[in-house]
Amino acid sequence: MKTIITFAILNAATAYAGCMTTEQCPDLLALETPDCHQYHIFVTRGSDSPYPGHQSDLVRLVCDGLGGDCGFENIIYPANSSYAGREAWCQSAASGAVAAQAQLTEYTDRCPSSKLILFGFSQGASVTLDYLGGGGGPVGKCIQDNNPPLDRLKAPGSNVVAAIVFGAAVRAASMPYSFKGGKDFNGTSPRSEKALAGLEPYADILRDYCNFGDPVCAPSSQPAKVAQHLNYFDLYNDEAAEWVIDTAQGPSGNNTNTKSSTSLSSMPSTASGGPARATSIASSLQTTTSSTIPKSSSSGSSTAAIASSTIASLAIMLQCIYMY
């Protein structure tokens, strides 16, 4: 356990170097809105992460590259890991798929001309694939309730212009939209044939990122390393943003800013942080991990951000160990 804690502390600053919450970065808060925009991003966070979680820098890159008429909202769902109970992951994912379809429907009812972009990480990646193409069935030691796919021919499905997911627990190997070294491996559980058929109409606007050695999306790729589940947004943000922008705009584009003008290296660093929602087992270790990080009056806000990220890191690491 001490090794896990140390690993979490050492990797917190690098694995989650960007904003994890809107409180940490005011410019991200300015993008969070239910209002109608030309482009609207729906973000589905990973297990036990705060809103919006690991994908926040990607949101900013994409909105910047799309020229400003862009906002985002979080898919509101529990994001519980298996530490909340044997059935917790499946119940959380099922409720997330239902909630997401309701949120997208409500938004397109108000904003019928808006173009929708979908992001998901870890459990949130599975939920994104579920609400897009349909989901349900066995996942690890639990059974997830079934949900139908979004109809590609009518709103909100017809409004979706790009979808990108990272480290999905439930995924199938070797699909046309599979990318990176883990693409030819099944996830913790494979997607059903019915669910894959539901994703097929979206295949040309979908990317499913999976690293070799990611114990969540490619557990049979060995050696498995937790870092391979945590580093997507360190490695791929710029290329992912470019693909999302190009795909969302279509072949001809619809504004002059067809590439993101901001790279991660030029983004503002994380400011003051709020506490992450962590699993009960991770929360019980918060005092231990926080006490190892030195505090000073000049670095209190950054220390808080690192401590918050440490707990989120630890929650995901523990989840990876149990293959959820």
Q: Is residue 210 part of a domain?
A: yes
Residue 74 in tokens: 């979080």
Give the domain CATH number at 87.
3.40.50.1820
Q: Is residue 149 part of a domain?
A: yes
Q: Is residue 167 part of a domain?
A: yes
The pLDDT assigned to 73 comes to 98
The pLDDT assigned to 82 comes to 81
Contact indicator for 268, 27 with CB cutoff of 8 Å: yes
Q: Is residue 307 part of a domain?
A: no
**Per-residue b or e along 284-294, where b marks 16 or more CB atoms closer than 10 Å to that residue's CB:** ebbeebbeeee
pLDDT-flagged residues of the chain (< 70): 1-24, 252-324
Q: Is residue 73 part of a domain?
A: yes
pTM metric for this prediction: 0.77
The pLDDT assigned to 112 comes to 98
Per the structure, the complete domain to which residue 57 belongs is given by 28-259
The pLDDT assigned to 54 comes to 92
∠ CA 127-132-138, nearest 5°, is 45
The pLDDT assigned to 29 comes to 85
Q: What is the DSSP letter of 299?
A: S
pLDDT tens digits, 42-100: 999 999 998 888 999 999 999 999 998 999 999 999 999 887 778 999 999 999 999 99
Contact indicator for 69, 39 with CB cutoff of 8 Å: yes
Q: Is residue 130 part of a domain?
A: yes
The pLDDT assigned to 5 comes to 30
Domain count, the chain: 1
Q: Is residue 288 part of a domain?
A: no
Q: Is residue 5 part of a domain?
A: no
Burial of residue 13 (CB within 10 Å: 0-12, 13-18, 19+) is: middle
